[in-house]
A and B are shown apart, each in its own frame.
Chain A
Amino acid sequence: MALITEKLVVLNLDSPDRHAATRVLAQALADEGRVTDLDGFLADVRKREEQMPTGLPGGIGIPHARSAYVTEPSLAFGRSPEGIDWGAEDGPATLIFLIAAPEGGGDDHLKILAALARRLMRTEFRESLMNAPDATTVVDVVTREVVNP
């Protein structure tokens, strides 16, 4: 199945803090059957977030976890025009990538996530997501850049 679908894209992510924002994205994963236990998965993500916040320079947040409650490697994408504090030094995050990996995922699956992580470091990739007019475009960009490069 696809890494990301239109139902996993939230273009107006409007949450008071990163935990609430993560919950909105995780709910999308749960609605699609990619996460079997919403609270269990959120606890796994939170555990990771508490080790070290995942906000990165350039307005990016990448909450992520390997979790037993994840059925397949998935990306839920959120865009927050106002920005949400994600613990990065240079300000709030406007692009949020919730990365969900199954606990025992095979190497092929993890390689897709590795490719996604590498793309996040490319300015063009971030800009095309920032400027995408709709969810379909977001899915197209990710699929073109990460899944079938």
Chain B
Amino acid sequence: MKFVGVTSCPTGIAHTYMAAEGLEQAARAAGHEIEVETQGSAGFDRLSPETIAAADAVIFAVGVPVRERARFAGKPLVEADVKKAISDGPGLIARAVAAVGEAVANPAAAQTGPPAPAAGGLSTKVDNQASVGVRIRQWLMTGVSYMIPFVAAGGILIALGFMVAQLAGGKEGAIVVTKLYALTGPPVPNPTHIINIVTDFNPADGMQWAALLFLVGGASFSFLVPILSGFIAFAIADRPGLAPGIVGGFIASTIGAGFLGGIATGFIGGFVALWISRWKVPKGVRGVMPVVVIPLLSVLITGAALILILGRPLKALTDGLASWLHGLSGANLIVLGVILGLMMAFDMGGPVNKTAYTFATTGLAAAATATGSTNLKVMAAVMAAGMTPPLGLALATTVRRRLFSEAERENGQAAWLLGASFITEGAIPFAAADPLRVIPSCMLGSAFTGGLVMAFGNTLRAPHGGIWVTPLISSPLLYLLAIAIGTVITAAAVIALKAAGPGPVKTELDTAEAVTV
């Protein structure tokens, strides 16, 4: 037969390896094959998913909990103290052989959990021995590392959409592409002339290609918060965390709680799932725990907590901020620019950011009917302040590479394009991984940029588009200067703060391991 084993011990320098040797000797003597993963302090080389999939049974001979245990789910399991493998390897091998026989006779009873994926499997880099602070960062980094592909794909597609729109639609193209196209049928009647590109796609129309890119990118972006939240919860609670984390993140996204809301739901979902999965339940109920009880309760509790507890204060916050901003309209424009900059960078797509952005775009709508160049200045300040967070972080990853993990450095390259296209979300992977140092740095740079744009008196007639709507910006060179200054300030601040603290947390993506769901 073929077996796989995991050995571990508190210190990780002696028993772990002796136990592995004991299992290997015993398996060989009995004519079986075994591969053992030694989870010692020299780190551990993961058994390949194919090896695990091919194994008839799993042997855990451990002194501390198995890391990434979910990889072995669904296999007949023998679990013993690490010393057992040293003193009686042949006994454990015999038990594993017996467990295989039992599993054949009674498949339901011998399973260790829900069936394992045939190959691949998700993993985290959470070290259960680490301090609370380190583990929190590892949980966040796990969520971020799974979110990054969605940010990169979505952000770049949206940016490409703007580029194509500018080529195909001229200087108003980047505005039109955000407004005129949809994936669902236009409302009846159709006063805004929405074009459904599913039913009415016209390959000869460049604007429709731009819209296709823009809409697919938008679809990818809608997963940012659910995936971030889901994989924070996964890092905390393993497989049971995914459902409450993803659903909670989706609700956070829907009610406009942004990525900070998603971090909250990731933690709530993860800990609720962990808590429920540790309930001591009667044997008869144990079988339905992972498939029914844990998902049902954890999803309900996480979703309800978010809606009932966070929903109302959130609404009050955005309403309060909005009326406060309107009250400021008569005040000093530079002060208003600084405040809008701070808000744009605070939560990057969350409620505070959205309030500032909505304030600007409603002003833009009013300016279409009135003269109001103040409203156009507000729009210019808001867009510039939303561009500097990703740009500043891209600059920081370029000039001080070793302060960032490999995943962050790669994300930094995409962040140039995202920032230039006013896709503030490009900064979220950095902010979610290390909010206390990244968010203040972004706010500082955006505050300068917001204030400078007001001081320069730039105006903007487009609600979105970044550098792709430059023809619609007055004094574009001064505008770009304001953005460049904010970018440098954010980069300098984030470098200073990161250099003063602990280094980057390595993530799964650092080893470029394929991720399959």
Interface segment, one of B35-43, B161-169, B369-377, B432-440:
B35-43
Interface segment, one of B9-17, B68-76, B397-405, B485-493:
B9-17
Whole-angstrom distance between the Cβ of B468 and the nearest chain A Cβ: 48
Report which of A48, A51, A118 forms a contact with B21, defined as CB distance below 8 A: A118
Whole-angstrom distance between the Cβ of A109 and the nearest chain B Cβ: 9
A120 at the interface (CB under 8 A from B): yes
Asked, given contacts A57-B86, A66-B41, A121-B86, whether A113 binds B14 with beta carbons under 8 Å apart, the answer is yes
A111 at the interface (CB under 8 A from B): yes
B457 at the interface (CB under 8 A from A): no
Q: Which of B16-71 contact A (CB under 8 A)?
A: 16-18, 20-22, 25, 38, 40-43, 63
Per-residue 0/1 for A110-129: is the Cβ within 8 Å of any B Cβ (1 yes, 0 no)?
11011101101110000000
Report which of A65, A107, A117, A122 forms a contact with B17, defined as CB distance below 8 A: A117
Report which of A57, A62, A122 forms a contact with B14, defined as CB distance below 8 A: A62
Q: Is the CB of B21 within 8 A of A110?
A: no
Q: Is the CB of A121 within 8 A of B14?
A: no
Per-residue 0/1 for B472-506: is the Cβ within 8 Å of any A Cβ (1 yes, 0 no)?
00000000000000000000000000000000000
Q: Which of A55-69 contact B (CB under 8 A)?
A: 56-57, 62, 64-66
Q: Is the CB of B41 within 8 A of A117?
A: no
A101 at the interface (CB under 8 A from B): yes
Report which of A52, A89, A118 forms a contact with B18, defined as CB distance below 8 A: A118
Q: Which of A81-108 contact B (CB under 8 A)?
A: 89, 99, 101, 107
Q: Is the CB of B13 within 8 A of A113?
A: yes
A54 at the interface (CB under 8 A from B): yes
Report which of A52, A66, A117 forms a contact with B16, defined as CB distance below 8 A: A117
CB-defined contacts of A62 to chain B, threshold 8 Å:
14-15, 18
Whole-angstrom distance between the Cβ of B478 and the nearest chain A Cβ: 51
Asked, given contacts A52-B83, A120-B18, A121-B25, whether A114 binds B11 with beta carbons under 8 Å apart, the answer is no
Q: Is the CB of B14 within 8 A of A64?
A: yes
Q: Is the CB of A64 within 8 A of B13?
A: yes
Q: Is the CB of A118 within 8 A of B11?
A: no
Majority DSSP secondary structure for residues of A touching B: mixed
B128 at the interface (CB under 8 A from A): no
B184 at the interface (CB under 8 A from A): no
Q: Is the CB of B40 within 8 A of A110?
A: yes
Report which of B21, B41, B83 forms a contact with A121, defined as CB distance below 8 A: B21
CB-defined contacts of B15 to chain A, threshold 8 Å:
54, 62, 117
Whole-angstrom distance between the Cβ of A86 and the nearest chain B Cβ: 12
Per-residue 0/1 for B113-138: is the Cβ within 8 Å of any A Cβ (1 yes, 0 no)?
00000000000000000000000000
B254 at the interface (CB under 8 A from A): no
CA distance A97 to B20 in the complex (A): 18
B362 at the interface (CB under 8 A from A): no
Q: Is the CB of A117 within 8 A of B87?
A: no
Asked, given contacts A57-B86, A107-B43, A121-B25, whether A101 binds B20 with beta carbons under 8 Å apart, the answer is no
Which among A56, A57, A117 has the highest number of chain B CB atoms within 10 Å? A117
Q: Is the CB of B13 within 8 A of A118?
A: no
Whole-angstrom distance between the Cβ of A122 and the nearest chain B Cβ: 8
Asked, given contacts A57-B87, A66-B41, whether A114 binds B17 with beta carbons under 8 Å apart, the answer is yes
Whole-angstrom distance between the Cβ of B111 and the nearest chain A Cβ: 30
CB-defined contacts of A57 to chain B, threshold 8 Å:
86-87
CA distance A122 to B40 in the complex (A): 20
Report which of A110, A115, A118 forms a contact with B41, defined as CB distance below 8 A: A110
CB-defined contacts of A120 to chain B, threshold 8 Å:
14, 18, 21
Q: Is the CB of A118 within 8 A of B87?
A: no
Asked, given contacts A64-B14, A117-B13, A121-B18, whether A52 binds B38 with beta carbons under 8 Å apart, the answer is no
Asked, given contacts A48-B11, A64-B14, whether A111 binds B83 with beta carbons under 8 Å apart, the answer is no
Q: List 13 A-B contacts (CB under 8 A).
A: A48-B11, A57-B87, A62-B18, A64-B13, A64-B14, A66-B41, A110-B13, A115-B17, A117-B13, A117-B18, A118-B17, A120-B14, A121-B86
Closest 8 CB pairs of A and B: A117-B17, A110-B42, A121-B21, A118-B21, A114-B17, A57-B87, A117-B14, A117-B18
New contact pairs (16) apart from A62-B18, A66-B12, A121-B86, CB-CB < 8 Å: A52-B63, A54-B14, A56-B87, A66-B11, A110-B13, A110-B41, A110-B42, A113-B14, A113-B17, A114-B42, A115-B17, A117-B16, A118-B20, A118-B21, A121-B21, A122-B21
